């Protein structure tokens, strides 16, 4: 079976090369048969990669320790869910999983566009298959997942204990779906540049693919933060780690594109800017992949030092050179037909929003690569830590939060004084009052107070939009309020789904601001019966317990907790020791409510003295970060849901494009 997997990858590599050449020749020579052949070759590549994935999964599940990959990332005591997760737990497996997602998406795109986008599809096929060929080349020639050991291992080394967490069953696949999902709009953008068809068709065709990628980038970042919160035992969820940043940057540029593309659709503006954002987003996904596999940065997320870094650098530089040349070539066609009439307009607010998002992305990028640059230039690696990122990005983030409330409701072209008063008088008043109340209550972190005030402003603007829309529909259609609200959202999913996403964004800001500014932390060493007071919580150490199983041994501290004198439960922070890896792992104990999290970490235990060291965090409002993430995901689902009007608009744009193609051929 292993030989079948290896053969499948080699055939997929050859098939991918054929698809690229056949698609390009068919397009240039106007030979539809070759274009169809390239499409069929793309289907075959997907089938072959899927076969290789199944072979590797079978080897993992059956514990075939003759394979170096299986012996390195699984063991006989590893549970089935984490055995399956080992598919993306190592370098070669994660690359195979990546190319599997890519070829799956390519197949879906081919099926969706069998009867449309005839001018674009050959170049879409060539672009996506070129990317697939790059990853397949790494799997065939550099880091094969089907490498056999000279002598089969008696036992596997086991999966990294940090990855043996249920969030890791979701986090890597989500990020991979987001990363690879960005390939689809990138491929269509390249096709539009090559063919010169730079109207709205490629944007409308890829809109849901872009939302799909953004959905999974959002989910991946939120779930990754939750994994770090629960698994690393440091009381936080985001450390501006280089690989965290690598997942965050394409999310920022993709968010910018989703906002600015609306201006192109409605006003035929920002063509160049939108093209650059699409290309930048894809390049950032490759950059993130490079960071995790090159070993040039230190990160709990990175794979071990490997020789793949130069290949990714060469590929990334090649992509940048090609797309830059295409953009310069098509620059005359990328000029917008209109200009911004006023800074007090929705067009201007979306542009400011974009500049803030790109500014945060650039600051994050610079802070991420600066240690590498400093080491290359001066021979000294200067570490850039959270203080830099917080100092630079916090004010930009607050400005972005303000624009989240302004952009969706300000008028197009030029806002009148009446429009401004109607849209913002009440929300500004609400935000001001909330800020004054919080300040009067004794909260003196100014960033947090401003954040709460701006979040209230954003929520008030969105509430007013829903309220006015519902009342208008009630007056027009005579519907009850719940039905009017449901129909309002159903008929305008893009607009009101976007409002729901913005509600989630405001919640995330509140959760981040409160948990960062007002967190309590205490570390105490206690004997049995010892008591520690942290805020309103009284914690009593009741003893230590030991458990053991074939996979790991564990030590649990029994902690009785009371809040304001009232018992709230008994909690068991845990230390595990994984036997195969000979590595410890922290399992925190959490008491979560809407107002705060009590976060308990077992630091150490001395058997001789019976002393236990415990670390306690009280994180206010942190659950609103996770709730806000779920609301953002809900809003994205609403936005992605197709409407008849959008389908008609896409069909009309395609018809215009096809008529232009037929005229050119005549």
Q: pLDDT tens digit string along 96-142?
A: 999 999 999 999 999 999 888 999 999 999 999 999 999 999 999 99
pTM check: above 0.85:
yes
Q: pLDDT tens digit string along 10-62?
A: 999 999 999 999 999 999 999 999 999 999 999 999 999 999 999 999 999 99
Does the pLDDT value for residue 304 go beyond 80? Answer: no
Does the pLDDT value for residue 326 go beyond 80? Answer: yes
pLDDT of residue 546: 94
Residue 604 is classified by DSSP as E
Beta-carbon contacts of 539 under 8 Å, excluding residues fewer than 6 positions away, are: 531, 532, 533, 559, 560, 561, 600, 614, 616
* Cβ atoms of 206 and 275 closer than 8 Å: no
Domain-terminating residue out of 144, 159, 174: 159
Q: How confident is the model at residue 390 (pLDDT cuts 50, 70, 90)?
A: very high
Residues of the chain with pLDDT > 90, as a percent, come to: 67
Torsions phi, psi for 465 (to 5 deg): -65, -45
Is 566 within a domain? yes
Report the range of poorest mean pLDDT among 292-296, 358-362, 370-374: 292-296
Is 97 within a domain? yes
Neighbour count for residue 465 (Cβ, 10 Å): 19
Rounded average pLDDT over 622-649: 85
Q: Which residues pair with 616 in a beta bridge?
A: 522, 600
Q: How confident is the model at residue 657 (pLDDT cuts 50, 70, 90)?
A: low
What is the domain extent for residue 72?
1-159
Task: Please count the CA atoms within 13 angstroms of the CA of 64 that sit on its side-chain side.
Answer: 17
* Cβ atoms of 502 and 353 closer than 8 Å: no
Q: Among candidates 107, 118, 364, which has minimal Cα distance to 253?
A: 364
Domain-terminating residue out of 159, 194, 220: 159
Is 652 within a domain? no
Rounded average pLDDT over 331-354: 81
Tokens of 248: 């965050």
Rounded CA gap, 505 and 244, in Å? Answer: 18
H or E segment and range at residue 494: helix 493-517
Rounded CA gap, 357 and 276, in Å? Answer: 14
* 65: CATH: 1.20.120
Rounded average pLDDT over 481-490: 89
Is 206 within a domain? no
Domain-terminating residue out of 139, 159, 179: 159
Is 610 within a domain? yes
Tokens of 640: 């992605």
Neighbour count for residue 401 (Cβ, 10 Å): 24
Helix (H/G/I), strand (E/B), else coil: 617: strand
pLDDT of residue 383: 76
* Cβ atoms of 472 and 416 closer than 8 Å: no
pLDDT of residue 418: 78
CA dihedral 237, 242, 246, 247 (to 10 degrees): -20
The long-range contacts involving 89-92, CB below 8 angstroms and separated by at least 24 positions, are 89/159, 89/160, 89/163, 90/145, 90/303, 91/143, 91/293, 91/303, 91/304, 91/306, 91/308, 92/139, 92/143, 92/144, 92/145, 92/147
**DSSP-assigned letters across all residues of 211-278:** HHHHHHHHHHHHHHHHHHHHHS-SS-S----HHHHHHHHHHHHHHHHHHHHHHHHHH---HHHHHHHH
Is 26 within a domain? yes
Q: pLDDT tens digit string along 407-418?
A: 878 877 777 777
Rounded to 5°, the CA angle 418-420-424 comes to: 130
Beta-carbon contacts of 249 under 8 Å, excluding residues fewer than 6 positions away, are: 284, 287, 288, 361, 364, 365
Q: How confident is the model at residue 662 (pLDDT cuts 50, 70, 90)?
A: very low
Q: pLDDT tens digit string along 202-243?
A: 998 999 999 999 999 999 999 999 999 998 889 999 999 888
CA dihedral 259, 262, 263, 267 (to 10 degrees): 180
Q: Among candidates 640, 650, 643, which has minimal Cα distance to 208?
A: 640
* Cβ atoms of 271 and 334 closer than 8 Å: yes
Is 66 within a domain? yes
Q: How many domains does the chain have?
A: 2
Rounded average pLDDT over 416-427: 82
Report the range of poorest mean pLDDT among 347-356, 450-459, 584-593, 643-652: 643-652
pLDDT of residue 536: 94
pLDDT of residue 307: 74
**DSSP-assigned letters across all residues of 186-226:** HHHHHHHHHHT--SSHHHHHHHHHHHHHHHHHHHHHHHHHH
Is 593 within a domain? yes
Average pLDDT value for the chain? 90
Q: How confident is the model at residue 294 (pLDDT cuts 50, 70, 90)?
A: low
């Amino acid at each position: 079976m292993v030989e079948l997997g290896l053969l499948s990858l080699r055939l997929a590599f050859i098939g991918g090369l054929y698809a690229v050449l056949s698609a390009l020749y068919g397009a240039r020579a106007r030979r539809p048969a070759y274009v169809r052949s390239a499409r069929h070759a793309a289907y075959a590549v997907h089938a072959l990669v899927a076969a290789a994935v199944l072979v590797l999964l079978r080897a993992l599940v059956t514990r075939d320790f003759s394979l170096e990959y299986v012996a390195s990332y699984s063991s006989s005591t590893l549970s089935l869910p984490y055995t399956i997760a080992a598919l993306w737990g190592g370098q070669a497996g994660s690359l195979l999983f990546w190319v599997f997602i890519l070829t799956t998406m390519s197949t879906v795109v081919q099926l969706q566009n069998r009867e449309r986008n005839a001018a674009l599809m050959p170049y879409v096929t060539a672009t996506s298959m070129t990317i697939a060929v790059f990853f397949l080349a790494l799997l065939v020639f550099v880091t094969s997942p089907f490498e056999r050991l000279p002598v089969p291992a008696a036992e596997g080394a086991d999966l990294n204990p940090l990855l043996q967490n249920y969030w890791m069953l979701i986090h890597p696949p989500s990020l991979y779906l987001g990363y690879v999902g960005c390939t689809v709009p990138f491929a269509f953008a390249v096709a539009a540049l090559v063919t010169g068809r730079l109207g709205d068709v490629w944007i409308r065709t890829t809109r849901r693919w872009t939302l799909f990628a953004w959905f999974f980038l959002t989910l991946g970042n939120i779930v990754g933060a939750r994994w770090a919160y629960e698994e690393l035992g440091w009381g936080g969820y985001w450390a501006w780690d280089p690989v965290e940043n690598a997942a965050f940057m394409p999310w920022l540029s993709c968010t910018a594109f989703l906002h600015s593309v609306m201006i192109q659709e409605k006003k035929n503006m920002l063509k160049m800017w939108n093209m650059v954002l699409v290309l930048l987003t894809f390049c950032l996904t490759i950059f993130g992949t490079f960071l995790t596999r090159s070993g040039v940065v230190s990160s709990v997320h990175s794979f071990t030092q490997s020789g793949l870094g130069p290949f990714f650098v060469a590929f990334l530089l090649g992509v940048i050179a090609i797309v830059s040349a295409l953009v310069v070539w098509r620059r005359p066609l990328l000029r917008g037909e209109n200009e911004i009439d006023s800074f007090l307009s929705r067009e201007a607010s979306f542009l400011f929003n974009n500049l803030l998002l790109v500014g945060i992305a650039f600051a994050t990028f610079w802070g991420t690569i600066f240690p590498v640059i400093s080491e290359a230039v001066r021979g000294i690696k200067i570490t850039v830590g959270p203080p830099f990122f917080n100092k630079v990005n916090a004010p930009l983030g607050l400005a972005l939060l303000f624009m989240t409330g302004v952009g969706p409701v300000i008028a197009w072209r030029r806002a009148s004084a009446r429009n401004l008063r109607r849209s913002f008088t009440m929300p500004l008043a609400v935000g001001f009052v909330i800020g004054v109340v919080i300040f009067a209550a004794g909260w003196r972190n100014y960033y947090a107070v401003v954040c709460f005030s701006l979040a209230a402003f954003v929520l008030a603007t969105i509430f007013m939009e829903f309220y006015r829309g519902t009342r208008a529909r009630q007056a027009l259609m005579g519907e009850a309020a719940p039905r009017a609200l449901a129909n309002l959202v159903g008929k305008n999913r893009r607009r009101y789904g976007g409002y729901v996403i913005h509600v989630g964004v405001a919640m995330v800001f509140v959760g981040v601001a409160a948990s960062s500014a007002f967190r309590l932390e205490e570390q105490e060493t206690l004997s049995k019966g010892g008591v520690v007071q942290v805020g309103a919580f009284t914690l009593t150490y009741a003893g230590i317990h030991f458990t053991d199983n074939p996979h790991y041994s564990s030590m649990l501290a029994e902690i009785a907790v009371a809040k304001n004198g009232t018992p709230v439960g008994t909690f068991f922070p845990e230390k595990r020791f994984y036997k195969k890896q000979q590595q410890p792992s922290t399992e925190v104990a959490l008491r979560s409510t809407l107002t705060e999290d009590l976060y308990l970490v077992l630091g150490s235990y001395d058997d001789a003295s019976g002393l236990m060291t415990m670390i306690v965090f009280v994180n206010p409002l942190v659950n609103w970060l996770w709730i806000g993430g779920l609301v953002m995901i809900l809003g994205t689902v609403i936005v992605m849901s197709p409407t008849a009007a959008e389908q008609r608009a896409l069909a009309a744009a395609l018809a215009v494009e096809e008529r232009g193609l037929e005229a050119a051929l005549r």
